[in-house]
Structure formats: structure tokens, C-alpha cells
Copies of this chain bind each other. A is one copy, B any other.
Amino acid sequence: MQFELNEDNTLLKSSTREFLEKESPLEKVRTVTEETPEGFSRELYAQLAELGYLGLTLPESQGGAEVGPVGLAAVTHEMGRAALPGPVLDILLGGEVLSRLEGDTAANLLQEVMKGEKMVLLAHSETLTHPQEAPPAVHFSKGMIHGTKGPVAFGASADALLVTTPQGLVLVPRPGEGWNTVSLDTFDHTQRFVQILLDDPGELLSDRPIPQEVDLLGAVGAAGLLLGLMERSLELAVDYLKERQAFGRTIGSFQALQHRASDMWIKTESSRSAVYRAAWALEEQLEEAPFLVAAAKAFTGDAAGFVCGETIQLFGGVGFTWEYDPHIYFKRVKTLQQLYGSTRNQLELALQAKGI
């Protein structure tokens, strides 16, 4: 038995950290998320493409790096630590969908995606309220797609959308005049959500739903992001506890705060165990993998919410300021709890995986 990453993944993880610390330090994250309309750096994403991150998990036969779920978790773990903005995981998942499709359109598009020449995102969600039974909001007929999709994260930046419809998966290239979007402004300033009003020509690429493996990869990737976000947030909290003075002592010497930090650490380390075990099970294609992945996403979502929320609390007044960093991790986490299978959905998937 061995819990440590193998050599390749250890190298992948450390080089990802080095790259992000150098190319996307938190000051840069602040600049792109606060001052650019797209909310992420095109330059940085070009570098990510160059380094192969946009084809990370795709088969070598298709030009990908063929890194498994454990490597994916290791990479998103680092991207979470860096609070890397933008749709990198969504691009990866779009590629995963394309790589499973027949035909040249998908194959050629996939190459452009990996090269970073085109950004292709999935457009699946159709409701702003809680997922429930509702008639499909989008239809495809006679080569045209009609209806509204959203929220789509960073959808306005997409060069093409993979739109789920009752008729199947439809590829919709960005219209010449650009997308007809409504931008949705959430409490998480690092996001760029839009609703997209579709009335455009499209191409039916498949009549099958999005394969489960893609959802599982998405959940593992998101769990990795959450792990990285809470791990970094905990580091900030512990450093602050050691430096901040009150009543003539460092606040880290107060037992109530020590125990809070201990709980944060317990949740962070448990998330680490859960995320990598789930990723490993998926890589080994163990039967229990879907259950373990659902458990990992649900648990890390709650854990990260606690850790990043309490980091704000431990910082006290300054934790509530834009100037200090805790809010960046907290907001990202609160958003991620609802995406890639919300906590509540993952709990249901976990039960179903157990036949309950």
C-alpha cells in the first residue's frame, strides 16, 4: 500500500505549482478577476495549452497527455491552491466529450481545443432555480438550435458550445455577431456566468447523453479544486493565528481558536484522503469508484465551506475586507459547492451507487 503519488504525478504536481506560483500569483488573480471583462487571462490559458494542460486527461492517441484521474486531482489541487480563475476544468471536460465522439468535426475541434485555439464549453444547465423536473428549454431541429441555456460559467468567452438538447448533443459555433448573452452577476466576483439565448445554426454531434465518465472526471477535478482552496485557506488562517496579537499574546494561543483550527485541519486532511482515494479508484476503474467520487465531492464541498468560512472568522475584521485574501477562497468554494454535481446531488448519487 502506498498513499504518496507516483513519480510522474509528484513531478506533475510540483511543476504545476511552480508554474502557477510564477505565472499566476494571487496579485495576478486579483487583476484578471477584478479588472478584466472575461475574468481570466488569455495569455495564461495559451501557456496552459502549450504545456498540455488543456489535453491533460485525453488519450495520447489523440494528442493528449493521457494523465489519469489521480494526476487530474493533483493538478486541480494545485489550481485550487492558486485560486486559478477561468474555465480550465470546463475546457478539459469539453475535450473529454469531444474525444468520445465519432467523426472529423469533433476530432478536428478537439485538436484546436488542446492547442488553445478554440474554447469549447458544455452548455447543460437550463435553470437558475433548484434542479427539478421541467420541460427542456432548448430544441434542435432542421439544423437550428432554439432556446436558452445557463448558467454557463465563462460562456461569453466560448468559441463554440456543446449544447445538450432532447435531440442530442449539438455543436454551436460562436455566431459572427457574438453570443446573445445575459450576464448573471453572483456574489462570487471571480466568476462570469451567463445565460445564452440560442437561435443559431448548429450541428448534431451525437444522440447520446454526456457519458458518466465525464461527470466523474468533473467531480474529481472539482473535488481537487476544493481541496486546494481549503488547504491554502487553512495555511493563511494558521499563519495569521501565529502572527496576530490580542490581549498581549498571539491569538493562536487561545484554546478556542486552536480547536477551531484543529477542526479545519481535520476536515482538510480527511478531504485529502477522500479525494485521492476516489481518484485512484476511478483510475483503477474499481466498481466502487462512482460511490467514492460522489462521497469525495460532497464531503470536500462541505469541508471547504467550513474551512474557508472559518478562515474569515479567524481573521476577524480584516477577514471581511476586500484587501485581505480569505474571501477569494470562500467565494470560489461556495460557487463550487453547487457545480459539478451539487452536494445534495452527490449525496443522492452516492445512495444510488450503493443501491439504496
A residues with a Cβ closer than 8 A to B are 254-256, 258-259
Contacts and interface: CB of A to CB of B under 8 A. Distances in A.
Specify how many copies of this chain sit in the oligomer.
2
Nearest to A254: B255
Contacts of A258: 256
6 contacts: A254-B255, A255-B255, A255-B256, A256-B256, A256-B258, A256-B259
Closest CB pairs A-B (n = 6) = A255-B255, A255-B256, A256-B259, A256-B256, A254-B255, A256-B258
Interface of A is mostly: helix
Contacts of A255: 254-256
Q: Which of A254, A256, A258, A259 has the most CB of B within 10 A?
A: A256
A36 to B, nearest CB: 44
A256 B254 CA distance: 9
Nearest to A259: B256
A138 to B, nearest CB: 34
Nearest to A253: B255
Contacts of A259: 256
A259 B255 CA distance: 10
A174 to B, nearest CB: 45
A221 B83 CA distance: 54
A255 B259 CA distance: 10
A258 B254 CA distance: 12
A63 B254 CA distance: 60
A258 B259 CA distance: 13
A255 B253 CA distance: 11
A258 B258 CA distance: 14
A282 to B, nearest CB: 37
A254 B257 CA distance: 12
A256 B261 CA distance: 12
Contacts of A256: 255-256, 258-259
A254 B253 CA distance: 12
